[in-house]
Copies of this chain bind each other. A is one copy, B any other.
Amino acid sequence: MERTEKILAGNVRVVSTLIRNLEDRVPKAKAAIRNIYPHTGKAHVIGFTGSPGAGKSTLIDTMIAVYRKQGKTVGALLVDPTSPFTGGAVLGDRVRMQRHAGDPDVFVRSLASRGALGGLSKAVGNAIHILDAMGKDIIIVETIGAGQQGVDIINHAHTVIVVQIPGMGDEIQTLKAGILEIADIFMINKADRDGGGKLYQELMHMLNMVENYTGGWRPPIIRAENINDRDAFTKSVEELTDAVDAHYQNLVSKNILEECLLRHVMIELDETLEAAILEPIITELTKSGELDRFVDKILHRELDPNTVAEEIAERYLKGYDREQISQ
Protein backbone atom coordinates (compact mmCIF):
# COMPACT_ATOMS: atom_id res chain seq x y z
CA MET A 1 0.00 0.00 0.00
CA GLU A 2 2.98 2.24 0.51
CA ARG A 3 3.37 2.61 -3.23
CA THR A 4 -0.28 3.59 -3.63
CA GLU A 5 0.14 6.36 -1.07
CA LYS A 6 3.21 7.65 -2.84
CA ILE A 7 1.26 7.78 -6.10
CA LEU A 8 -1.65 9.59 -4.43
CA ALA A 9 0.87 12.04 -2.99
CA GLY A 10 2.19 12.68 -6.50
CA ASN A 11 5.62 11.10 -6.11
CA VAL A 12 7.06 11.58 -9.61
CA ARG A 13 9.73 8.90 -9.32
CA VAL A 14 7.26 6.20 -8.26
CA VAL A 15 4.77 7.27 -10.92
CA SER A 16 7.42 7.25 -13.67
CA THR A 17 8.59 3.77 -12.71
CA LEU A 18 5.03 2.49 -12.69
CA ILE A 19 4.28 3.94 -16.12
CA ARG A 20 7.48 2.41 -17.49
CA ASN A 21 6.48 -0.95 -16.01
CA LEU A 22 3.08 -0.65 -17.68
CA GLU A 23 4.73 0.07 -21.04
CA ASP A 24 6.96 -2.95 -20.53
CA ARG A 25 3.94 -4.99 -19.42
CA VAL A 26 5.50 -5.95 -16.10
CA PRO A 27 2.76 -8.07 -14.46
CA LYS A 28 2.96 -6.53 -10.97
CA ALA A 29 2.04 -3.13 -12.41
CA LYS A 30 -1.52 -4.47 -12.67
CA ALA A 31 -1.81 -4.73 -8.90
CA ALA A 32 -0.77 -1.10 -8.56
CA ILE A 33 -3.57 0.00 -10.89
CA ARG A 34 -6.06 -2.03 -8.86
CA ASN A 35 -5.02 -0.18 -5.70
CA ILE A 36 -5.23 3.30 -7.15
CA TYR A 37 -8.44 2.67 -9.10
CA PRO A 38 -10.81 3.77 -6.29
CA HIS A 39 -9.05 7.15 -6.33
CA THR A 40 -9.64 7.80 -10.01
CA GLY A 41 -12.46 9.35 -12.03
CA LYS A 42 -12.01 12.96 -11.00
CA ALA A 43 -9.88 14.45 -13.78
CA HIS A 44 -11.10 16.05 -16.99
CA VAL A 45 -9.34 14.15 -19.78
CA ILE A 46 -8.68 16.19 -22.94
CA GLY A 47 -7.55 14.48 -26.14
CA PHE A 48 -5.52 16.27 -28.82
CA THR A 49 -5.28 14.67 -32.22
CA GLY A 50 -4.07 15.85 -35.61
CA SER A 51 -1.39 15.32 -38.22
CA PRO A 52 2.29 15.47 -37.34
CA GLY A 53 3.45 19.03 -37.83
CA ALA A 54 0.08 20.53 -36.88
CA GLY A 55 1.66 22.21 -33.88
CA LYS A 56 0.00 20.15 -31.17
CA SER A 57 3.00 20.32 -28.83
CA THR A 58 3.05 24.12 -28.80
CA LEU A 59 -0.70 24.22 -28.27
CA ILE A 60 -0.46 21.80 -25.35
CA ASP A 61 2.50 23.62 -23.86
CA THR A 62 0.54 26.88 -23.92
CA MET A 63 -2.63 25.22 -22.67
CA ILE A 64 -0.74 23.89 -19.66
CA ALA A 65 0.37 27.47 -18.89
CA VAL A 66 -3.23 28.73 -19.20
CA TYR A 67 -4.54 26.05 -16.82
CA ARG A 68 -1.71 26.68 -14.36
CA LYS A 69 -2.64 30.37 -14.28
CA GLN A 70 -6.15 29.24 -13.29
CA GLY A 71 -4.59 27.26 -10.43
CA LYS A 72 -5.35 23.86 -11.97
CA THR A 73 -2.89 20.97 -11.84
CA VAL A 74 -2.09 19.30 -15.15
CA GLY A 75 -0.82 15.96 -16.41
CA ALA A 76 0.08 15.37 -20.06
CA LEU A 77 0.71 12.14 -21.94
CA LEU A 78 2.35 12.38 -25.35
CA VAL A 79 1.82 9.21 -27.33
CA ASP A 80 4.59 8.56 -29.84
CA PRO A 81 3.72 6.37 -32.77
CA THR A 82 6.00 3.39 -32.91
CA SER A 83 6.68 1.62 -36.13
CA PRO A 84 4.87 -1.73 -36.06
CA PHE A 85 7.90 -3.36 -37.64
CA THR A 86 11.07 -1.84 -36.30
CA GLY A 87 9.78 -1.21 -32.79
CA GLY A 88 11.59 2.11 -32.72
CA ALA A 89 9.85 5.38 -31.91
CA VAL A 90 9.49 7.23 -35.20
CA LEU A 91 9.60 10.66 -33.66
CA GLY A 92 12.50 9.74 -31.42
CA ASP A 93 13.05 11.37 -28.08
CA ARG A 94 11.18 14.59 -27.86
CA VAL A 95 12.33 17.41 -25.70
CA ARG A 96 9.20 19.36 -25.02
CA MET A 97 7.21 21.19 -22.44
CA GLN A 98 10.55 22.26 -20.99
CA ARG A 99 9.24 25.40 -19.36
CA HIS A 100 7.00 23.36 -17.06
CA ALA A 101 9.82 21.05 -15.97
CA GLY A 102 10.27 22.80 -12.63
CA ASP A 103 6.56 22.96 -11.78
CA PRO A 104 5.57 20.17 -9.36
CA ASP A 105 1.93 20.56 -10.38
CA VAL A 106 2.68 19.60 -13.98
CA PHE A 107 3.57 16.05 -14.96
CA VAL A 108 4.48 15.34 -18.59
CA ARG A 109 5.34 11.93 -19.95
CA SER A 110 5.94 10.43 -23.41
CA LEU A 111 4.45 7.02 -24.08
CA ALA A 112 5.55 4.73 -26.88
CA SER A 113 2.54 3.08 -28.52
CA ARG A 114 4.40 -0.15 -29.12
CA GLY A 115 2.53 -3.42 -29.01
CA ALA A 116 -0.69 -1.93 -30.27
CA LEU A 117 -0.33 -2.01 -34.04
CA GLY A 118 -1.59 1.38 -35.11
CA GLY A 119 -3.94 1.64 -32.17
CA LEU A 120 -3.54 3.66 -29.04
CA SER A 121 -1.21 2.10 -26.51
CA LYS A 122 -3.01 -0.02 -23.93
CA ALA A 123 -0.76 1.65 -21.40
CA VAL A 124 -2.47 4.99 -22.13
CA GLY A 125 -5.64 4.08 -20.22
CA ASN A 126 -3.67 3.03 -17.18
CA ALA A 127 -1.35 6.03 -17.39
CA ILE A 128 -4.47 8.24 -17.32
CA HIS A 129 -5.64 6.42 -14.17
CA ILE A 130 -2.28 7.12 -12.54
CA LEU A 131 -2.28 10.85 -13.34
CA ASP A 132 -5.89 10.95 -12.20
CA ALA A 133 -4.99 9.29 -8.87
CA MET A 134 -2.10 11.78 -8.52
CA GLY A 135 -4.82 14.39 -8.31
CA LYS A 136 -4.25 16.17 -11.62
CA ASP A 137 -7.34 18.28 -12.41
CA ILE A 138 -6.65 18.21 -16.14
CA ILE A 139 -5.10 15.35 -18.12
CA ILE A 140 -4.07 16.10 -21.69
CA VAL A 141 -3.43 13.20 -24.07
CA GLU A 142 -1.75 13.90 -27.40
CA THR A 143 -1.99 11.39 -30.24
CA ILE A 144 -1.20 11.39 -33.94
CA GLY A 145 -4.40 11.70 -35.93
CA ALA A 146 -3.11 9.84 -38.94
CA GLY A 147 -4.93 6.63 -38.23
CA GLN A 148 -6.51 4.50 -35.59
CA GLN A 149 -4.82 6.32 -32.72
CA GLY A 150 -6.61 9.49 -33.64
CA VAL A 151 -9.98 7.77 -33.42
CA ASP A 152 -9.10 5.67 -30.36
CA ILE A 153 -8.64 8.79 -28.28
CA ILE A 154 -12.42 8.98 -27.77
CA ASN A 155 -12.07 5.78 -25.73
CA HIS A 156 -10.19 7.75 -23.11
CA ALA A 157 -11.00 11.46 -23.40
CA HIS A 158 -14.05 13.47 -22.31
CA THR A 159 -13.26 16.25 -24.75
CA VAL A 160 -11.50 15.72 -28.08
CA ILE A 161 -9.72 18.54 -29.92
CA VAL A 162 -8.88 17.93 -33.57
CA VAL A 163 -6.02 20.16 -34.69
CA GLN A 164 -5.70 21.00 -38.36
CA ILE A 165 -3.42 23.28 -40.35
CA PRO A 166 -3.97 24.73 -43.82
CA GLY A 167 -2.18 23.50 -46.89
CA MET A 168 -1.78 19.88 -45.86
CA GLY A 169 -4.20 18.84 -48.58
CA ASP A 170 -5.58 16.24 -46.24
CA GLU A 171 -8.77 18.01 -45.25
CA ILE A 172 -11.14 15.59 -46.93
CA GLN A 173 -9.02 12.58 -46.11
CA THR A 174 -8.95 13.35 -42.42
CA LEU A 175 -12.69 13.80 -42.35
CA LYS A 176 -13.19 10.52 -44.20
CA ALA A 177 -11.11 8.67 -41.68
CA GLY A 178 -13.76 9.36 -39.05
CA ILE A 179 -12.07 12.34 -37.43
CA LEU A 180 -15.10 14.58 -37.95
CA GLU A 181 -17.25 12.42 -35.75
CA ILE A 182 -14.87 12.38 -32.83
CA ALA A 183 -14.16 16.14 -32.76
CA ASP A 184 -15.73 18.13 -29.93
CA ILE A 185 -13.66 21.15 -30.89
CA PHE A 186 -11.78 21.99 -34.09
CA MET A 187 -8.58 23.96 -33.78
CA ILE A 188 -7.11 25.50 -36.92
CA ASN A 189 -3.49 26.21 -36.16
CA LYS A 190 -1.36 28.51 -38.33
CA ALA A 191 -4.68 29.79 -39.68
CA ASP A 192 -3.00 32.76 -41.37
CA ARG A 193 -1.24 30.44 -43.80
CA ASP A 194 -2.39 29.95 -47.40
CA GLY A 195 -5.55 27.89 -47.42
CA GLY A 196 -6.55 28.86 -43.89
CA GLY A 197 -9.78 30.44 -45.09
CA LYS A 198 -10.59 27.46 -47.30
CA LEU A 199 -10.02 24.99 -44.46
CA TYR A 200 -12.30 27.02 -42.19
CA GLN A 201 -14.99 27.16 -44.88
CA GLU A 202 -14.75 23.42 -45.48
CA LEU A 203 -15.10 22.60 -41.81
CA MET A 204 -18.04 25.00 -41.49
CA HIS A 205 -19.66 23.39 -44.50
CA MET A 206 -19.24 19.91 -43.01
CA LEU A 207 -20.64 21.05 -39.68
CA ASN A 208 -23.60 22.71 -41.39
CA MET A 209 -24.56 19.38 -42.90
CA VAL A 210 -24.89 17.66 -39.51
CA GLU A 211 -28.52 17.49 -38.52
CA ASN A 212 -28.31 16.51 -34.89
CA TYR A 213 -25.42 17.28 -32.63
CA THR A 214 -25.00 14.95 -29.65
CA GLY A 215 -26.15 16.84 -26.59
CA GLY A 216 -26.82 19.88 -28.76
CA TRP A 217 -23.07 20.58 -28.90
CA ARG A 218 -21.95 21.98 -32.22
CA PRO A 219 -18.14 21.74 -32.33
CA PRO A 220 -16.72 25.26 -32.40
CA ILE A 221 -13.82 26.10 -34.71
CA ILE A 222 -11.07 27.99 -32.91
CA ARG A 223 -8.31 29.65 -34.91
CA ALA A 224 -4.75 30.45 -33.87
CA GLU A 225 -2.63 32.57 -36.17
CA ASN A 226 0.95 33.68 -35.66
CA ILE A 227 2.62 31.15 -33.38
CA ASN A 228 5.50 33.62 -32.83
CA ASP A 229 3.27 36.40 -31.51
CA ARG A 230 3.13 34.88 -28.04
CA ASP A 231 0.38 37.10 -26.65
CA ALA A 232 -1.96 36.59 -29.58
CA PHE A 233 -1.26 32.86 -29.58
CA THR A 234 -1.92 32.59 -25.84
CA LYS A 235 -5.20 34.43 -26.39
CA SER A 236 -6.26 31.83 -28.95
CA VAL A 237 -5.33 29.03 -26.58
CA GLU A 238 -7.37 30.72 -23.82
CA GLU A 239 -10.29 30.70 -26.24
CA LEU A 240 -9.62 26.99 -26.84
CA THR A 241 -9.47 26.32 -23.10
CA ASP A 242 -12.77 28.15 -22.60
CA ALA A 243 -14.32 25.97 -25.30
CA VAL A 244 -12.96 22.85 -23.58
CA ASP A 245 -14.51 23.91 -20.28
CA ALA A 246 -17.80 24.77 -21.98
CA HIS A 247 -17.83 21.34 -23.63
CA TYR A 248 -17.36 19.62 -20.29
CA GLN A 249 -20.10 21.73 -18.70
CA ASN A 250 -22.38 20.71 -21.54
CA LEU A 251 -21.57 17.02 -20.95
CA VAL A 252 -22.55 17.46 -17.31
CA SER A 253 -25.65 19.61 -17.78
CA LYS A 254 -27.08 17.46 -20.58
CA ASN A 255 -26.45 14.24 -18.62
CA ILE A 256 -24.22 12.80 -21.32
CA LEU A 257 -21.05 12.61 -19.25
CA GLU A 258 -22.36 9.34 -17.80
CA GLU A 259 -22.71 7.91 -21.32
CA CYS A 260 -19.15 8.92 -22.13
CA LEU A 261 -17.80 7.33 -18.94
CA LEU A 262 -19.80 4.18 -19.64
CA ARG A 263 -18.17 3.85 -23.06
CA HIS A 264 -14.73 4.25 -21.52
CA VAL A 265 -15.42 1.54 -18.94
CA MET A 266 -16.85 -0.88 -21.52
CA ILE A 267 -13.78 -0.56 -23.71
CA GLU A 268 -11.39 -0.92 -20.79
CA LEU A 269 -13.24 -4.00 -19.56
CA ASP A 270 -13.07 -5.51 -23.02
CA GLU A 271 -9.30 -5.06 -23.13
CA THR A 272 -8.91 -6.37 -19.60
CA LEU A 273 -10.95 -9.49 -20.43
CA GLU A 274 -8.70 -10.15 -23.38
CA ALA A 275 -5.65 -9.90 -21.12
CA ALA A 276 -7.21 -12.08 -18.40
CA ILE A 277 -8.73 -14.79 -20.57
CA LEU A 278 -7.18 -14.98 -24.04
CA GLU A 279 -3.59 -14.08 -23.29
CA PRO A 280 -2.94 -16.80 -20.67
CA ILE A 281 -4.42 -19.44 -23.01
CA ILE A 282 -2.24 -18.35 -25.91
CA THR A 283 0.82 -18.20 -23.65
CA GLU A 284 0.21 -21.74 -22.40
CA LEU A 285 -0.34 -23.14 -25.90
CA THR A 286 2.78 -21.37 -27.12
CA LYS A 287 4.92 -22.75 -24.29
CA SER A 288 3.71 -26.32 -24.81
CA GLY A 289 4.46 -26.10 -28.51
CA GLU A 290 0.86 -26.92 -29.30
CA LEU A 291 0.13 -23.62 -30.95
CA ASP A 292 2.88 -24.35 -33.47
CA ARG A 293 1.39 -27.76 -34.20
CA PHE A 294 -2.10 -26.26 -34.72
CA VAL A 295 -0.70 -23.55 -36.99
CA ASP A 296 1.20 -26.15 -38.98
CA LYS A 297 -1.96 -28.17 -39.53
CA ILE A 298 -3.85 -25.05 -40.63
CA LEU A 299 -1.02 -24.14 -43.01
CA HIS A 300 -1.28 -27.58 -44.59
CA ARG A 301 -5.07 -27.40 -44.70
CA GLU A 302 -5.47 -30.44 -42.41
CA LEU A 303 -7.46 -28.25 -40.03
CA ASP A 304 -9.22 -24.92 -40.35
CA PRO A 305 -8.94 -22.00 -37.90
CA ASN A 306 -12.53 -22.34 -36.65
CA THR A 307 -12.15 -26.00 -35.78
CA VAL A 308 -8.91 -25.27 -33.93
CA ALA A 309 -10.46 -22.35 -32.05
CA GLU A 310 -13.39 -24.50 -30.98
CA GLU A 311 -11.12 -27.29 -29.84
CA ILE A 312 -9.17 -24.80 -27.74
CA ALA A 313 -12.37 -23.27 -26.40
CA GLU A 314 -13.66 -26.71 -25.42
CA ARG A 315 -10.45 -27.47 -23.57
CA TYR A 316 -10.29 -24.22 -21.62
CA LEU A 317 -13.89 -23.15 -21.10
CA LYS A 318 -16.11 -24.66 -18.41
CA GLY A 319 -19.30 -26.25 -19.74
CA TYR A 320 -18.44 -25.43 -23.34
CA ASP A 321 -21.01 -26.79 -25.76
CA ARG A 322 -19.44 -26.97 -29.19
CA GLU A 323 -22.63 -27.99 -30.93
CA GLN A 324 -24.55 -25.05 -29.62
CA ILE A 325 -21.83 -22.49 -30.23
CA SER A 326 -20.96 -23.59 -33.72
CA GLN A 327 -24.50 -23.48 -35.00
Contacts and interface: CB of A to CB of B under 8 A. Distances in A.
Interface of A: 27-28, 30-31, 33-34, 37-38, 40-41, 51-53, 81, 83-86, 90-91, 117-119, 144, 146-148, 150-152, 167-170, 172-174, 176-178, 181-182, 258, 261-262, 265-266, 268-270, 272-278, 280-282, 294-295, 298-299, 301, 304-310, 312-313, 315-318, 325-327
Contacts of A174: 146
B304 A86 contact: no
A90 B181 CA distance: 12
A310 B167 contact: no
Given A34-B304, A37-B304, A269-B298, 10 more contacts: A52-B173, A119-B148, A146-B173, A146-B176, A146-B177, A147-B148, A265-B295, A268-B298, A278-B278, A281-B317
A281 B83 CA distance: 33
A103 B307 CA distance: 35
Contacts of A170: 168-170, 173
Contacts of A280: 313, 317, 325
Contacts of A317: 277, 280-281, 316-318
B276 A278 contact: no
A295 B266 contact: yes
A154 to B, nearest CB: 9
Contact of A277 (B119, B173, B278): B278
Contact of A272 (B83, B308, B327): B308
Nearest to A51: B173
Contacts of A282: 270, 273
Nearest to A168: B169
Contact of A83 (B181, B261, B278, B301): B181
Contacts of A182: 85
A197 to B, nearest CB: 17
Count chain B CB atoms within 10 A of each CB in A84, A144, A174 and give the residue with the most. Answer: A84
A262 B325 CA distance: 27
Count chain B CB atoms within 10 A of each CB in A38, A273, A315 and give the residue with the most. Answer: A273
Contacts of A258: 299
Count chain B CB atoms within 10 A of each CB in A53, A178, A308 and give the residue with the most. Answer: A178
B262 A273 contact: no
Contacts of A51: 173
A135 B176 CA distance: 35
Nearest to A268: B305
A83 B175 CA distance: 10
